[in-house]
Structures are given as C-alpha cells and as structure tokens.
Amino acid sequence: MVALAHDAGDRIFVLSLTIWMSKYDFFLQQGMCLLKWFAVSFSSQEFSLMDRILRVPLCPNSQTFYKIAASLCLSPDSKSLMVPSANVIFFNGDRVEGTGNPVVERLSDVERVAKVLVSKFGDSVNTWVIGASTYHGPFAVYKDFIPSVNGWGDPKSYSPMGFPASTTTVSLLSSFLGEAKNVIPGLHEETARSGTSVLCQPKAYILGFSKGGTVINQLLTELGNLTYVSVPFMDGSFHENHEDARVIPNSKETLLNSIAEIHYVDVGLNSAGAYLTNHDVVEGISARLKQGASRLRVILHGTPRQWCDNRRVWIRNEKNILIQMLQSEAERSDGRLEVCERFYFADSSPNMQMHFEIIEQMDVS
C-alpha cells in the first residue's frame, strides 16, 4: 500500500522512500526485494516520515547497496515526480549505536534526518539522506566517492581524477528512481517544473555530517576542476545550455553545476582531512564564479564536540584554513561567493548529544 498526502495548499504530494542496504538478508540472496510501506503525512506545520525499505544497487548489476532515505515531490493530480526547486543531499557519518541517549538515537535515524531537512528547506525540495555502503565496525567508508580512503574511511587525499563523488551521487539517485518506478505502477518523471515558463535545472544543496564532510571535500575538489559551462537554474540566471529540467541531475556536470549551497555539519575525523585545505581547489571554484557560474554559499556549522577538541586540534586548524581561503576569494567575487561560520552550544562542554543535535538546530538561512 502506498500512502500519499497533500500539503496544506493541495499543491504537492510527498513520497517517502528508504533504500536499505543489507548484504546478508535472505531476500537479497534470493534476488527479491522486501518492501515495507508506511503512512506519510505532511502539513505546513509538520512533516511526518515513516519507512519504506528497498534494496537498490549503486548501478545495474552492482553488488554494492546503499541505504538512502528520500522525500520526493509528486504532482497532486497524477503519479508524476515533479521537478523540485532543489535537491537537498545529506551525507551521513559514522554509526553510533547503543548510547541510550534519546537525542542521539533519534537523529541516528535516516528517516528522522529526512524529516528535519524537509522542515528546514521547504516542501518544494527533494531530500536525500545517504549513508556509506561499507562500514568498518562503526566507521563509515565512502570508498565509491573517495577511492583513496583507508580501511577506516579516512581519506588519504582528494583528487578530481574520474570525478568519483559526483558520478556516484548521480548513479545512486538514478538507481533510486529506477526502483521506485518498478514498484509503483505509472510513476514517471516530469521534465519541467509545474508553473515555470523556463526549463531550469533544480539547484543542489549538499550537506555533509561528521565523516560525511569528506564527501563534500571530494565534491568541491571535483567542482574546482570542472570546466565551467552555463546551465539554466530555477531563478533563470543562465540560459546558454537549454536542456530539459529533470527531477535529478543526469550527469556529473549537471550535478556539479547545480550546487548552490554547501553545508559542513560538525564534521571531523580521527586524522587530517576533515576540511578542504587545498588552495588550488578554492581558486578553481572562484575562477568558475568569475566566469559566470551561479552564486555559491558555503556554511560551516560546528559545536565544541569538534571545534574545541584539544585531542584533535587539526579539525579546528583545518576549519580556520578553509574559512580564510574562502573569505579571501569571497572578497574578490563580487558577491558570488558567500562564506559563513556558525557555532552552536558554545557555552556547553563537548558531548555526543550536541554532535547530533546540531542537525535539528542548524540555521540554513
């Protein structure tokens, strides 16, 4: 059973989907999909998200599966996926289990995180919460996004070669929609957002939480090394490349060109590499903006748990280096590059709860 709900203005349906990775499940061994459907409700005051579980490969014939929670906009009068105003893509961190802390447990739930994202970015966006396909114990290993990671998921370096993070992201979103169409008869995509006169690509807002920040670093590395090509967005800023707008980006170029906001959410590692410190990458991004690329906002959200950890001083040092590089380029960007640093729970001692609670408390305005 599929449960759909109108928003307060009867404009948008919300479809909530979760892809669950489990390589040991009996049904996966039998080549079957186990589907679980639960009710979804939405109002102008509250968005309620429950599970739907699928198993979706990274790409056709792949043995790698990902757990993704998504909330997608549907046309109110048909089973067509609407082109959203933006795709909000959140990369999760390490697993934290058995804490007994209700805040940590609640915000370790990908469906809850998807709910938070919808409440913060609005009902006209698609939201995606992506976790790593592989874990070494509790440690997330984003090896498809960052090939250089070690066995614990810590990056050895960031390189644009092969554009792995953007390519993997596009492949995952495509696989997600492909499976949704397989199990929902008649589901299809629109190619232009309802009510718009210009075929514009939805923007992308990228968030990296904790170790998920390493994926942001890789995406920025790829963005800084991508040749700029003008594409149209929802605000009608650029119209040189008149391709039909789609629910999700259909190429790494479209994804990277659509990035409008980057949010580092209390990122940190047990080794160097939590924040991007490569000045050449930042200069490359700045050069794209000067050539006419769409405006980019970079917001660093942090807590004492990461920024005041005297045992891992490199986190704060790397954060300060990135802020300085971005601010220097922002001064010469004619307003196209904006950087902001936001510190939460400043008067509290570092603890695990604040590390997760920032997901609910972060200001994305």
Residue found by looking up tokens 């639960």 in the block: 38
Taking residues 126-144, report their average pLDDT: 95
Mean pLDDT of 256-264: 97
Q: Write the pLDDT tens digit of every residue in 33-80.
A: 333 332 233 333 222 222 344 567 788 888 899 988 988 888 776 678
Q: Inform me whether the pLDDT recorded for 348 exceeds 90.
A: yes
Residue 81: predicted pLDDT: 84
Q: Specify the range with the lowest mean pLDDT, choosing from 139-148, 188-197, 265-274.
A: 188-197
3-state SS, residue 159: coil
Q: By mean pLDDT, which of 39-53, 119-133, 205-219, 349-363 is the weakest?
A: 39-53
First-to-last alpha carbon distance for the chain, in angstroms, is 36
Average pLDDT, the chain: 82
Give mean pLDDT, residues 157-182: 93
Distance of CA 295 to the CA centre of its chain: 18
Nearest CA to 205 out of 245, 249, 161, 243 is that of 249
Residue 92: pLDDT band (50, 70, 90) is: very high
288 in Cβ contact with 334 (< 8 Å): no
How confident is residue 179, by pLDDT bands cut at 50, 70 and 90?
confident
363 against 80, higher pLDDT: 363
Residue 234: the pLDDT is 53
- DSSP lists the bridge partners of residue 71 as 16, 127
Residue 11 has pLDDT above 70, yes or no: no
Q: How many percent of the chain have pLDDT more than 90?
A: 61
CA distance 214 to 147: 12
228-254: per-residue pLDDT in tens?
876 555 555 543 344 567 889 999 999
Contact call for residues 267 and 212 (beta carbons, < 8 A): yes
- In words, the CATH class of domain 55-361 is alpha beta
pLDDT band at residue 22 under the 50/70/90 scheme: very low
Mean pLDDT to the nearest integer, 97-113 = 92
Residue tagged 């919300």 (tokens):
14
Reported residue count of the chain is: 365
